[in-house]
């Protein structure tokens, strides 16, 4: 049996741009992608902490060091610059592997700098 497990998470990223006229996706600073093991064109879930919107899209790698978090195309209708979002990727794995799996979670500050890298999040974590 296979399980779909969270593999990477960018927690409380600040949206820097919403570009309605771009052809779909989310642009993410490639340094942030590396830190959590996400890849360009990978499917991600995006959750907006400000309005509760949830969406699926795919990643476009942004310039390293740019701190870019830009929702593009139709996804831009669900965010405003300054909104806080959570971006999550998932992987399928054998059940035995799933029990040992530890995701990579990057906690960001208001400027999209990484404050901390966690594995499994303890219950009731507030950061």
The rounded distance, in Å, linking the Cα atoms of 48 and 121 is 19
Instruction: Look up 25 and say whether it is catalytic.
Output: yes
Percent of the chain with pLDDT over 90: 91
pLDDT digits (tens, 9 = 90+) for 13-49: 999 999 999 887 999 999 999 999 999 999 999 999 9
The rounded distance, in Å, linking the Cα atoms of 78 and 119 is 28
Task: Report the pLDDT averaged over residues 71-95.
Answer: 96
Residue 124 has pLDDT above 70, yes or no: no
Task: Report the pLDDT averaged over residues 73-97.
Answer: 96
Under 8 Å between Cβ of 26 and 79: no
Q: Could you say which of 58, 66, 89, 90 is catalytic?
A: 58
Quick one: pLDDT at residue 125? Answer: 64
Instruction: Look up 30 and say whether it is catalytic.
Output: no
Q: Could you say which of 2, 7, 25, 89 is catalytic?
A: 25
Residue 73 has pLDDT above 70, yes or no: yes
How would you class 90 by CB atoms within 10 Å of its CB: exposed for 0-12, middle for 13-18, buried for 19 or more? middle
């Amino acid at each position: 049996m296979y399980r779909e497990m969270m593999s990477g998470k960018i927690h409380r990223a600040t949206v820097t741009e919403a570009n309605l006229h771009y052809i779909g996706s989310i642009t993410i600073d490639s340094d942030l992608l590396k830190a959590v093991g996400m890849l360009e064109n990978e499917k991600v879930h995006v959750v907006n902490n400000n309005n509760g919107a949830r969406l699926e899209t795919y990643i476009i790698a942004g310039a390293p060091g740019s701190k870019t978090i830009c929702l593009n195309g139709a996804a831009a209708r669900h965010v405003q610059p300054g909104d806080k979002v959570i971006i999550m990727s998932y992987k399928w794995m054998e059940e035995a592997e799933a029990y040992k799996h530890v995701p990579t979670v990057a906690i960001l500050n208001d400027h999209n700098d990484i404050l901390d890298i966690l594995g499994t999040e303890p219950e009731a974590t507030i950061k």
